[in-house]
Structure 1
Amino acid sequence: MKELVKHLGLIPQQDPTVISTVNKLRSLFIWMVLIIFLWHYHMVSFWCSVMSYSFPETSINVKRKACSWFWDLTIYFMNLNGITYTISGDRINSESAVFLSNHQSLVDHLAVNYLARYSYFVNNDIEIPMVNFFTWFLIWKIPTLRILINLAKNDENWELDTSLAEIFFDKLLNSRKVEWLVLFPEVNIFTQESCYLQKLQSEKFYLPIFNNVLYPRFSSFFNVISMINSKNNYKFNNLYDLTIFYYKVNEDNEKTYFSPSLLEIFGSNDKITINIDVKFKNLTRVSHNRPKLERWLEKDWIEKDNFLQQNYQT
């Protein structure tokens, strides 16, 4: 819980200034607006579920549109705070895909939704891809209390039972829309404290040592690869590897790399940049054999750690 409070940005500052207090109040006001919107979204979602028996297609479209508006609103508030974005690497095709990403901040969820809108404009698509996060035994499009409940009940090595995986992903597999399925294999958000503790464990068990990411967990990725290799999958054929990092620039044009909290991203005088690097990965090279899959993901995370190190040293 303490870590969550820290990532939200709710830890009190020592000797706060007038400016920092104003920024925090502005962020809290934005939170209030977003929470009110979430409450209305869940009301709309409830009535859509009731009406889905009579108007299934219309209900789905209304829920997707309301979900899209929520993320549009969060990105609008980020833009009001002067957030800038840098997108590099490979182009994302106008198809459903699986996305792997490092996990530096709660803001990662907002960054991926911004990337979906960026892809929409670049490809001149008909509709913005819908982002689905696969975390803590849930596939979710928009924040709910269930995420916090599952987070409290389960540990980092959670895994969906293989026999249930196909049923769990059924809606995504049968969707007629473009769907993004996003995973954070590190599970926990990266911090220097967690990185240090994990280094001790890695040295003990002769695992690779990471400096900028946490050692990836394999369970959720194995669930997804098993689903992709199922006979019912005709939808997910692309895999993209995202590397997200953040920096702010001071008056001397010096970069400071950091992990912003949700308060900072909506209210800060710093010039914050979100950098998203995209690499296309060939799914045919990802084996559904568990040991080979684990070696593939471990190698991928070594490359990601080196990529971040190179950027931090530039």
Structure 2
Amino acid sequence: MIRLEAITKLYPGAPRPAVDRLDIEMAEGTTTALIGPSGCGKTTTLRMINRMIEPSGGRLFIDGTDVTGLDPVLLRRRIGYVIQQIGLFPHQSVAENIATVPKLLGWPAATIAARVEELLTLVGLDPARFRDAMPHRLSGGQRQRVGVARALAADPPVMLMDEPFGAIDPIAREKLQDEFKEILRRVRKTIVMVTHDLDEAIKMGDRIAIMRDGRLVQHGSPDEILSEPADAFVEAFVGPDRALKRLSLRKVDDLLTPGEAAEAPAIGAGATQREALARLIDSGAAALNVRDAEGRILGHIDRTALLDRPETRR
């Protein structure tokens, strides 16, 4: 659990604080997405959590301990950190990069080697192929996977992610988001993620914190943010298509009608209702069959059932 109490950052000569008495609590095992306009204080907030930027005031608690007085170097060894530029050490192999913090903590070599194998497998990289590879030989997506593995290496309770998918091309980004969301669900860390992309925040975050001018404007679940914007700023920020965005939070499985629809296109189980609506509009069909991974039809969804939802009628 992370709790920020009146955390403030005022730079000398600045007309206003970069972060202004921020109060927020992030529950253990959840992902909180920090989002807002450029200059709103989200990245400063993230970096104050591991004290890469020192707060001007306030208190910061991690798992009930006030860490504002701890040695920042020791603190950072307990916090995983993933950045947009990935930041792998170019002169070190993949395995050496992942092993950075465990080595600093004095782990035995055999334990480190086993942890490297475990994490490469977790992030979908074959250890035999990638263990000894150098970073310049990897694609952007592969380097980002190694960056996540390195952040997880010492099994930290907290992970900070600063625009982790920002440098990845759009097609690879969506795939990585899906994969990392599953990874983070399995490892159960408390994640704080900075993003400028609302769709990414909705997809990745259990909670979204919207900031403006260094202050917290609204903090809630994606559905709460989209359905009940706190003010005109949040309403404008989430956009006029927030009803459609809410459909991305719902799965087609929730609307299944038994049986197969004749001459209907298909969509995979687990797809979002937003994806289903796009498929229906694109095909002009009145229904979609829903298939599992083996191709078996689980049922179908009707266009009318999808459109006759509170989300699409608001």
State TM-score, norm by structure 1. 0.27
| Higher strand proportion (structure 1 or 2) | 2
Higher relative contact order (CA 8 A, sep 6+): 1
Which structure is higher in helix share? Answer: 1
Q: Which is greater in Rg? A: 2
Q: Tell me the TM-score normalised to structure 2 length.
A: 0.27
